[in-house]
């Protein structure tokens, strides 16, 4: 059974609050997204397995711990999930990146797939699916469906802001995954946008509105 982690770290809260502000510009928004991704990623990688290895320090031989494998993938949901990739790669520079292209139909709010390209050995990797927003949950559920259909097994979902409605949908659809959230907001509005939220994450990252 997966767990839900809502971050209470003051640095994460502060940076997400800056991202919410209307007058935070595109450059600042991008930089903040990268910083928050690194801070969240630091905690979300806490359970990566270690192995004991023997090394030589300048002083003596020593048994130390190192990562057991580097079998990690980052799975950004396009477009806005791309804003998380560099911040995660700062922690795990050898991770492979698999892109899942989805957009929400503006009328139905249902996710529409337009691209999916994952590492060939996805079934062996721990996959960090990243997207700033979990609103209705449709996009996250569909992205994780695609990844599972292509063999992905060990999956974690990370987002900046979640609505309780979307969190419930994701937990019900994929009860096996851990979910990391920087802020659990109040609710969705009538257009399925998160309140108070930060607006449209893709537009804010890429300046398209």
Tokens of 24: 């935070």
Give the position of tokens 């699916």. Answer: 129
Judged by the rule CB under 6 A, the positions of this chain that interact with ligand PRP are: 77-80, 103-104, 109, 111, 131-140, 166, 192, 200-202
Of 73 and 135, CB closest to ligand URA: 135
What's the rounded Cα separation, in Å, for the pair 40 and 18? Answer: 16
Judged by the rule CB under 6 A, the positions of this chain that interact with ligand URA are: 133, 135, 193-194, 197, 200-202
193 binds, among ligand PRP, ligand URA, none (CB under 5 to 8 A by kind): ligand URA
- The three-state secondary structure class of 90 is coil
Query: Closest distance between ligand PRP and the C-beta of residue 79, in Å?
Result: 4
Residue with the CB atom nearest ligand PRP in the bound state: 202
Of 42 and 193, CB closest to ligand URA: 193
134 binds, among ligand PRP, ligand URA, none (CB under 5 to 8 A by kind): ligand PRP
Of 119 and 197, CB closest to ligand PRP: 197
Give the position of tokens 């939220």. Answer: 197
Query: Closest distance between ligand URA and the C-beta of residue 208, in Å?
Result: 11
Element (H, E) at 170: helix 164-173
What's the rounded Cα separation, in Å, for the pair 73 and 50? Answer: 17
Query: Closest distance between ligand URA and the C-beta of residue 2, in Å?
Result: 22
Of 41 and 197, CB closest to ligand URA: 197
What's the rounded Cα separation, in Å, for the pair 16 and 33? Answer: 8
Of 102 and 194, CB closest to ligand URA: 194
Ramachandran category for residue 199: left, alpha or beta (phi over 0 → left; psi -120 to 50 → alpha): left
Q: Is the peptide bond before 79 cis (omega within 30 degrees of 0)?
A: yes
């Amino acid at each position: 059974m997966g767990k839900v982690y809502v971050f209470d770290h003051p640095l994460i809260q502060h940076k997400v609050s800056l991202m919410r502000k209307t007058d935070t510009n595109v450059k600042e928004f991008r930089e903040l997204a990268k910083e928050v991704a690194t801070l969240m990623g630091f905690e979300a990688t806490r359970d990566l397995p270690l192995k004991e290895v023997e090394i030589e320090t300048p002083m003596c031989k020593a048994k130390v711990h190192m990562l057991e494998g580097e079998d990690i993938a980052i799975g950004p949901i396009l477009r806005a999930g791309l804003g998380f990739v560099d911040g995660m790669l700062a922690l795990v520079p050898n991770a492979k990146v698999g892109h899942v292209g989805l957009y929400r139909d503006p009328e139905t709010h249902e996710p529409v797939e337009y691209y999916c390209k994952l590492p060939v050995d996805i079934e062996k990797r721990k996959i960090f699916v990243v997207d700033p927003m979990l609103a209705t949950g449709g996009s996250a559920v569909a992205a994780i469906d695609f990844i599972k259909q292509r063999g992905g097994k060990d999956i974690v979902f990370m987002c900046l802001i979640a609505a309780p409605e979307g969190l419930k949908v994701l937990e019900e659809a994929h009860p096996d995954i851990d979910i990391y959230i920087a802020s659990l907001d109040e609710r969705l509005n009538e257009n399925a946008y998160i309140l108070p939220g930060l607006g449209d994450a893709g537009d804010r990252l890429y300046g398209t509105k």
